[in-house]
């Protein structure tokens, strides 16, 4: 493994992230605002069986992360899954993966920073939303510029706030369900799971449509593969993070969703606002709405923070590989890619300005923004396909290094094929569903444009493949 660690150090980035920070970064990138605000869309499609949908999607992501972990343990590099796409599939796959990741996180960053303004308005209704968003963007940009350790520490605390809130909600919910605490001493029981129309209220289509939406909520877990390039003792940190992060996410998501659909009738959840607020209020916690508003504020900041970090490292990697200007790969004295970070932040700023302009001067503003945001879901799934396909070829190339490997992909290669088929079926149902069809078509169009741009770029830079083969 000496060569791989040498390759890692050639990137020039500093290994500062601890295993605990890596776990929290992956958790923070995945557990977003949607869970706290009720996950009403997924529950509306399929009712109480949404619990099973979250569990199935979690299992699929478990396999994706194990495939990623197998490769990361041997070759922990910044922008890892884009590297694997280039080396084990084709350079065009690495190009599409990198730009898809950048697009996804810039769009997520824009939406999260805009959301910050909404949450700040809860306490300060006269403050323009764009002002709050701009202040947060500047703060997060500076935090990323200071050092990767500062980013890691900030993201650790952001994620910790979300995790503690979810744990408290699960505990309170169980006490309410079993002992009736917060419900005048009358246990709620489990009847809401099958009363009100049954467990599978939306049939097969509704269940599959919910899976498609849930897939979007899990996006961000693969950011662990990007942090690997800046981890202390990468093999040890990666092993701990991969082993723990998936089951933690499953517990937090499945546990929270189970409590929500058990306490509240599924067909009323869309009308009650945040189930977290309602649950906290039921057990007598004063200011429950303010508490949850603070939590979703930090969740939005966490999403933007992860977005700046992840996409800036991908842009840095593209520069290192010669796809974009070499100046973008410049490092500060703290060994962070400062030009790359500022470029991503500038992209988010432009998005904020465009959103303000569209809202004030165009009736299409809100609709256009929703289309752009939803179009990032398909590019966000690209890394999952790439990781699972790359591992198939990776296993053949590194057989001698897989002895006593702690993170080998289980049930290889059948688990790979199962994951690819499952993700493909989810995409098909996303296309069938009128509510997600436009996002799939726009996302697919974006990927096709990337492929055409690569062909144009390659014709102008034919030496790239020669350099790659020499590496």
Looking at residues 143-152, what average pLDDT do you find? 86
In this prediction, what percent of the chain has a pLDDT beyond 70? Answer: 87
> Is pLDDT larger for residue 463 or for residue 113?
113
Q: Report the distance separating Cα 299 and Cα 34, nearest Å.
A: 10
Q: Cα-flanking dihedrals φ and ψ of residue 109, to 5°?
A: -60, -45
In this prediction, what percent of the chain has a pLDDT beyond 90? Answer: 22
Residue 352: pLDDT over 70: yes
Residue 390: pLDDT over 90: yes
Structure tokens at 233: 């003792």
Q: Report the distance separating Cα 292 and Cα 33, nearest Å.
A: 10
> Is pLDDT larger for residue 234 or for residue 328?
328
Closest alpha carbon to 308 in 124, 102, 125: 102
Query: To 10 degrees, what angle do helices 19-30 and 148-179 make?
Result: 60
Residue count of the chain: 471
Q: What pLDDT sits at residue 464? A: 58
Least confident span in 196-205, 293-302, 399-408? 399-408
Q: What pLDDT sits at residue 469? A: 45
Looking at residues 76-80, what average pLDDT do you find? 69
Residue 9: pLDDT over 50: no
The dihedral formed by the CA atoms of 312, 313, 318 and 319, expressed in degrees to the nearest 10: 80
Q: What pLDDT sits at residue 175? A: 92
Which residue matches tokens 């200071």?
146
Q: Report the distance separating Cα 109 and Cα 116, nearest Å.
A: 11
Looking at residues 364-374, what average pLDDT do you find? 60
Chain centre distance of CA 69: 17
* 231 SS3 class: strand
Q: Where are the domains of the chain?
A: 15-465
Least confident span in 36-40, 61-65, 94-98, 281-285? 36-40
Residue 452: pLDDT over 70: yes
pTM of the model: 0.87
pLDDT band at 344 (very low <50, low <70, confident <90, very high): very high
Residue 78: pLDDT over 70: no
Whole-number average pLDDT of the chain? 82
Query: Which of 1.20.1740.10, 1.20.120.530, 3.90.920.10, 3.40.1390.10 would CATH assign to domain 15-465?
Result: 1.20.1740.10
Q: Report the distance separating Cα 89 and Cα 86, nearest Å.
A: 6
Closest alpha carbon to 442 in 145, 104, 109: 104
Q: Report the distance separating Cα 471 and Cα 466, nearest Å.
A: 9
Using the Cα atoms of residue 307, residue 312, residue 313 and residue 318 in order, give the sign of their dihedral.
Answer: positive
DSSP letter assigned to residue 189: -
pLDDT band at 339 (very low <50, low <70, confident <90, very high): very high
Q: What pLDDT sits at residue 423? A: 94
> Is pLDDT larger for residue 48 or for residue 467?
48
DSSP letters of 365-398? Answer: HHHHHHHHHHTTHHHHHHHHHHHHHHHHHHHHHT
């Amino acid at each position: 493994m000496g060569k791989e660690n040498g390759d890692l150090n050639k990137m020039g980035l500093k290994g500062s992230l601890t295993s605990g920070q890596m776990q929290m970064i992956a958790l923070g990138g995945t557990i977003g605002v949607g869970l706290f605000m009720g996950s009403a869309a997924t529950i509306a499609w399929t009712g109480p069986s949404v619990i099973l949908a979250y569990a199935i999607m979690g299992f699929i992501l478990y396999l994706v992360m194990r495939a990623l972990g197998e490769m990361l343990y041997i070759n922990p590099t910044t922008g890892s899954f884009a590297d694997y796409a280039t080396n084990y599939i084709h350079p065009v796959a690495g190009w599409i993966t990198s730009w898809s990741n950048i697009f996804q996180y810039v769009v997520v960053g824009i939406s999260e920073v805009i959301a910050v303004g909404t949450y700040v308005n809860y306490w300060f209704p006269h403050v323009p939303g764009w002002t709050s968003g701009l202040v947060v963007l500047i703060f997060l940009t500076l935090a990323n510029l200071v050092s990767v350790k500062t980013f890691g520490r900030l993201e650790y605390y952001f994620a910790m706030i979300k995790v503690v809130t979810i744990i408290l909600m699960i505990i309170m919910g169980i006490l309410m369900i079993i002992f009736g605490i917060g419900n005048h001493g009358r246990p709620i029981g489990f009847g809401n799971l099958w009363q009100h129309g049954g467990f599978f209220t939306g049939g097969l289509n509704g269940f599959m449509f919910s899976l498609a939406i849930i897939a979007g909520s899990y996006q961000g877990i693969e950011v662990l593969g990007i942090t690997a390039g800046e981890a202390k003792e990468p093999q040890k940190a990666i092993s701990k993070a991969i082993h723990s992060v998936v089951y933690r996410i499953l517990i937090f998501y499945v546990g929270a969703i189970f409590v929500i659909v058990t306490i509240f009738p599924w067909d009323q959840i869309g009308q009650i606002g945040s189930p977290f607020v309602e649950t906290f209020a039921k057990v007598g916690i004063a200011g429950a709405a303010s508490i949850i508003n603070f939590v979703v504020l930090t969740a939005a900041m966490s999403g933007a923070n992860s977005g700046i970090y992840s996409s800036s490292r991908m842009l840095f990697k593209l520069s290192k590989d010669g796809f974009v200007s070499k100046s973008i790969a410049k490092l500060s004295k703290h060994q962070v890619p400062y030009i790359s970070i500022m470029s991503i932040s500038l992209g988010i700023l432009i998005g904020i300005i465009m959103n303000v302009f569209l809202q004030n001067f165009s009736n299409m503003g809100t609709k256009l923004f929703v289309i752009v945001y939803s179009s990032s879901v398909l590019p966000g799934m690209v890394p999952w396909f790439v990781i699972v396909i790359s591992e198939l070829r990776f296993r053949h190339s590194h057989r001698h290094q897989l002895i006593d490997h702690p993170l080998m992909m289980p049930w290889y290669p059948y688990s790979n094929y199962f994951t690819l088929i499952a993700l493909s079926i989810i995409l098909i149902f996303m296309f069938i569903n009128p509510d997600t069809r436009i996002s799939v078509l726009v996302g697919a169009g974006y990927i096709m444009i990337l492929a055409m741009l690569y062909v144009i770029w390659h014709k102008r830079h034919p030496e790239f493949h020669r350099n790659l083969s020499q590496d």
